[in-house]
């Protein structure tokens, strides 16, 4: 039986996947590097420096110092994107999904690769609905490695086999499965072929369907 749920944030509970994309697009454009929404799919769920590495590819002109500068610039643009975020920026039904889990007595963790996640859940006024927020800086490897979901299970005190992970990114679904959990995909079957269940959006979250 299900005892805990680990939610991704960006693209699951709020539309920050768009905001991340716009900030990366600005950076890529400023460097004259081709980038579009299709290429962006591979960045979803991937941490900041990992995403930058995917954009730069094998271009040798950027050493670590330069890469850190570029990542900081992207984050400044991203912070502008989310500067005015509030409760209205939650996807419809996001708060209700968390409340469903609470009402069922499940442990709830936030498993976001974003270092901006604590800021966002505070601004959207849902921080109190989480039992745990995993700090991605504390992990050896980001998604698609299982670390963040294993950390979520550990801090909730729940066996991974009794956990559900909720993700909008292929790298995230991979991480959930690598942790030994069932994966609920938010998006399309085409984008998330390996998810155990698919819902088009978080408003369709129905805990009873994943508890079997
Ligand atoms: C993930 C997003 O949740 O967080 C990625 O899907 C993002 O797009 C990553 O790159 C890291 O976020 P941040 O806020 O730490 O740069
Ligand atoms: Mg996501």
The confidence band for 212, taking pLDDT boundaries of 50, 70 and 90, is low
Catalytic, 10? Answer yes
Q: What is the pLDDT of residue 144?
A: 96
Q: Bridge partners of 5?
A: 108, 164
User: How confident is the model over 89-128, as pLDDT tens digits?
Assistant: 999 999 999 999 999 999 999 999 999 999 999 999 999 9
Ligand 1 lined by 168 (C-beta under 6 Å): no
The answer to the question of whether 36 is labelled as a binding residue is no
Do strands 163-167 and 182-186 pair parallel, antiparallel, or not at all (unpaired)? parallel
Check: CB of residue 125 under 8 Å from CB of residue 104: no
Q: Give the residue, by CA position, lying nearest to ligand 1 atom 16.
A: 48
36 is known as an active-site residue? no
The reply, when asked if residue 46 is annotated as ligand binding, is yes
pLDDT band at 166 (very low <50, low <70, confident <90, very high): very high
Q: Which two tokens stand for residue 119?
A: 């800021």
Whether this model's pTM surpasses 0.90: yes
So what's the pLDDT on residue 39?
96
What is the C-alpha separation between 156 and 150, in angstroms, rounded?
Answer: 10
pLDDT 10s digits, 42-64: 999 999 999 999 999 999 999 99
Complex ipTM value:
0.98
CB 169 within 8 A of CB 45: yes
Q: What does the pLDDT average to over 151-172?
A: 97
* 118 pocket-lining for ligand 1 (C-beta < 6 Å): no
47 lines ligand 1 (CB under 6 A): yes
């Amino acid at each position: 039986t299900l005892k805990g749920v680990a939610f991704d944030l960006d693209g699951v509970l709020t539309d920050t996947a768009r905001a991340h994309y716009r900030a990366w697009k600005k950076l890529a454009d400023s460097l004259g590097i081709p980038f579009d929404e299709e290429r962006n799919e591979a960045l979803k769920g991937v941490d900041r420096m990992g995403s930058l590495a995917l954009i730069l590819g094998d271009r040798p002109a950027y050493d670590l110092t330069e890469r850190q500068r570029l990542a900081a610039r992207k984050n400044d643009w991203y912070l502008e994107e989310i500067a005015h975020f509030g409760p209205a920026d939650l996807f419809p039904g996001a708060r209700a999904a968390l409340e469903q889990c609470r009402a069922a007595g499940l442990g709830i963790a936030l498993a976001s690769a974003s270092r901006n996640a604590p800021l966002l859940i505070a601004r959207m006024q849902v921080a109190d609905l989480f039992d745990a927020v995993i700090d991605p800086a504390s992990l050896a490897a980001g998604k698609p490695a299982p670390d963040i979901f294993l950390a979520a299970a550990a801090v909730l005190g729940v066996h991974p086999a009794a956990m559900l992970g909720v993700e909008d990114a292929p790298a995230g679904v991979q991480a959930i499965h690598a942790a030994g959990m069932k994966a609920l995909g938010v998006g399309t079957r085409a984008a998330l072929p390996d998810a155990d269940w698919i819902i088009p959006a978080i408003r369709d979250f129905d805990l009873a369907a994943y508890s079997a």
